[in-house]
Chain A
Amino acid sequence: MVFFDSVSINYITSKTIIPALKNVNLFINNGDHLGLVGESGSGKTTLALAIPRLLPNNAKIISGRILWYDTDILRASAKSLNQIRKNISIIFQNALACLNPLLPIGKQIADVLRYKAGKSVIVSKIRAIDLLAQLGFTNPEQLARKYPFELSGGMAQRVLIAMAIAAEPRLIIADEPTTGLDVIVQMEILHLWRDLLSQFKSALLLISHDIRVVIDLCEKIACMYHGEIVEKGVTQRIVSDPRHPYTAGLMQSFYGIQKRMFPFIPGVPTVSVQEQTCGFLPRCSFRTEKCLVEPPPYVQIEEGWEVKCWRPLGLQTCA
Chain B
Amino acid sequence: MLEAVRPSNVRMIMSGPILEGLELRKKFGTMYAVDCVSLAIGAWETVGLVGESGSGKTTLAKILCGLLEPSSGHVLYKGVDLRKLTRESWKQFRRGVQIVFQNPLLAFNPKFTIKRALLDAMRLITADKLQKEEKILDLLNEVNLDVSILNKRPSQLSGGQLQRVAFVRALLLDPQVICLDEPTSALDASIQGQILSLLVELQQNREISYLFITHDLKIAWAISQRIYVMYKGVIVEQGNADEMFNTPRHPYTALLFKAATGSIVGFARSTPLSDPTATLKKTGCRFVALCDRRKDRCFESEPPLFEIKGDYYVRCWEEKGKEGQ
Contacts and interface: CB of A to CB of B under 8 A. Distances in A.
B53 A250 contact: no
Given A40-B159, A216-B263, A191 B189 contact: no
A71 interface: no
Contacts of A152: 276
Interface in B252-278: 255-256, 258-265, 267-269, 273-276
A168 interface: no
A33 to B, nearest CB: 14
Contacts of B268: 187-188, 191-192
Contact of B2 (A41, A190, A209, A266): A266
Contacts of A215: 263
Contacts of A40: 159, 188
Interface residues of A, number: 44
B4 interface: yes
Q: Which of B158, B188, B191 has the most CB of A within 10 A?
A: B188
Nearest to A266: B2
A260 B223 CA distance: 7
Contacts of A254: 189
A194 B219 contact: no
B215 A182 contact: yes
Interface stretch (B83-91, B120-128, B194-202, B291-299): B194-202
A183 B216 contact: yes
Interface in B226-282: 255-256, 258-265, 267-269, 273-276
Given A183-B215, A254-B189, A188 B197 contact: no
A282 interface: no
A184 interface: yes
Given A152-B276, A153-B53, A210 B189 contact: yes
Nearest to A264: B193
B46 interface: no
B193 A187 contact: no
A269 B188 CA distance: 11
Interface residues of B, number: 45
B1 A268 contact: no
B161 interface: yes
B70 interface: no
Interface in B1-40: 1-4, 6
Interface string A216-251: 110000000000000000000000000000000110
A183 B200 contact: no
B56 interface: no
A118 B277 CA distance: 34
Contact of A138 (B191, B217, B275): B275
Contact of A209 (B1, B189, B193, B215): B189
A264 B197 contact: yes
B190 A249 contact: yes
Given A182-B53, A184-B259, A258-B218, A253 B273 contact: no
Given A182-B52, A254-B189, A187 B158 contact: no
Given A182-B52, A184-B52, A260 B216 contact: no
Nearest to A138: B275
A305 B182 CA distance: 37
A313 to B, nearest CB: 13
Given A152-B276, A184-B52, A186-B259, A262 B4 contact: yes
A136 to B, nearest CB: 5
A257 interface: yes
Given A258-B261, A262-B197, A249 B1 contact: yes
B256 A39 contact: no
A284 to B, nearest CB: 12
Contacts of A261: 3-4, 222
Contact of A252 (B1, B215, B258): B1
Given A249-B1, A263-B193, A184 B256 contact: yes
B212 interface: no
B193 A256 contact: yes
B160 interface: yes
Query: Which of B1, B52, B189, B193 is the most central at the interface, judged by chain A CB atoms within 10 Å of its CB?
Result: B189
B113 interface: no
Contact of A264 (B194, B216, B259): B194
A183 B260 CA distance: 7
B200 A262 contact: yes
A201 B126 CA distance: 68
A263 B190 CA distance: 8
Contacts of B273: 136, 138, 188
A154 interface: yes
Interface in B164-213: 188-194, 196-197, 200
Given A39-B191, A188-B267, A253-B192, 6 more contacts: A183-B52, A187-B259, A191-B267, A215-B263, A250-B190, A264-B192
21 contacts: A39-B188, A138-B273, A183-B256, A184-B52, A186-B259, A187-B259, A187-B267, A188-B274, A191-B268, A211-B189, A216-B264, A249-B190, A257-B219, A257-B222, A260-B222, A262-B194, A262-B197, A264-B190, A264-B193, A265-B193, A285-B1
Interface of B: 1-4, 6, 52-53, 158-161, 188-194, 196-197, 200, 215-219, 221-222, 255-256, 258-265, 267-269, 273-276
Shortest beta-carbon contacts, A-B, top 7: A264-B193, A262-B197, A191-B268, A183-B259, A262-B196, A182-B52, A253-B193
Interface of A: 39-41, 136, 138, 152-155, 182-188, 190-192, 194, 209-211, 215-217, 249-250, 252-254, 256-258, 260-266, 268-269, 285
